[in-house]
Each structure stands twice: as structure tokens, then as C-alpha cells.
């Protein structure tokens, strides 16, 4: 057998092996990348959920005109919101952080509008399908407190 035929046979046997190794390596890399992205999204979701939970606790502390009831807002809730927001600086995109800053520095009249924009930024950051909220949609923080007067009516 001549050396040319042996060389061709070796190259012919090596190509599928190299191809298989390349496919396995690329698959492993892409799987790990997806796992890291999923873990990152999960961490973000936990932080966003904590923020909205704390905001809903404070929302319970608004009177009928939408002004904060200072007798209901505790130092603990203020501290928890601050703690969550400080954590958000590590993981949230700048667009969300700007909306959050606006939310905390805005007057009550803009609260609902800015909350909607902030929730929209959260949805975008989490790659939620249809992340943009429609023009007429109003974000409402639910508190679990039931207005018994409206039930009786």
C-alpha cells in the first residue's frame, strides 16, 4: 500500500473525529452560556420581585388622596426598599435605574406613570415577550388589603 493512500485514509478518519469534538465543544459552550443567562435572569427576577413587594407595602401606606401616611411607613420598610435598590445597582440596566430614581423623587401625580415605565424596563430586562405595556395600561401595586366599603356598595 502506498503512503498516499494511507495518508488519505488517515485524513478521512480524522475529519469526522475532529468534527465530532468541535460539535460537542460548541454544544457544551452554548448550553453553559444558556444556563448562566437563565441563572442571571432568575437572580434579577428575585431582586425585581423584592422591590415590587416592598413598593406594594409602602403603597398600602397611602391615604385616599395618594399622599403617604407617615404613621404607616416604617423605618423598616424604608430600609428594605433602600437595601433592594442598592442591590439593583449591581444587576439592573441603567434605563431601569433612571426610572427607579424618577419614581422615588417624583411627586404623587407622576407615580403611576413612572411606575408603568419602570415595570416596562423590568420586563425588557427580563426578556419578557411583549415587554412594552400598551399606552392605556395603568400599573397598580396590589397590597392584599381589601376595601370593605366598596364591597358593601
Taken in order 117, 110, 88, 43, the sign of the CA dihedral is negative
pLDDT band for 63, please (50, 70, 90 cuts): low
Asked whether residue 66 carries a pLDDT value surpassing 60, the answer given is: no
Pairwise CA distance, residues 59 & 63, whole Å: 9
Helix boundaries (H) for the chain: 3-59, 75-91, 94-105, 108-125, 148-152
The pLDDT of residue 153 is 44
The pLDDT of residue 10 is 85
Please give the grid coordinates belonging to residue 22.
Answer: 468541535
Domain boundaries, the chain: 43-152
Amino acid at each position: 500500500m502506498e503512503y498516499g493512500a494511507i495518508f488519505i485514509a488517515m485524513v478521512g478518519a480524522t475529519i469526522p473525529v475532529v468534527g465530532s469534538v468541535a460539535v460537542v465543544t460548541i454544544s457544551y459552550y452554548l448550553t453553559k452560556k444558556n444556563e448562566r443567562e437563565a441563572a442571571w435572569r432568575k437572580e434579577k427576577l428575585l431582586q425585581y420581585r423584592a422591590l415590587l413587594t416592598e413598593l406594594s407595602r409602602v403603597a398600602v401606606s397611602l391615604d385616599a388622596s395618594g399622599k403617604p401616611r407617615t404613621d404607616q411607613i416604617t423605618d423598616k420598610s424604608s430600609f428594605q426598599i433602600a437595601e433592594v435598590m442598592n442591590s439593583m445597582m449591581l444587576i439592573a440596566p441603567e434605563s431601569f435605574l433612571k426610572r427607579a430614581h424618577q419614581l422615588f423623587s417624583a411627586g404623587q401625580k407622576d407615580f403611576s406613570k413612572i411606575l408603568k415605565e419602570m415595570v416596562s424596563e423590568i420586563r425588557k430586562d427580563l426578556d419578557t415577550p411583549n415587554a412594552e405595556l400598551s399606552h392605556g395600561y395603568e400599573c397598580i401595586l396590589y397590597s392584599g388589603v381589601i376595601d370593605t366599603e366598596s364591597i358593601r356598595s
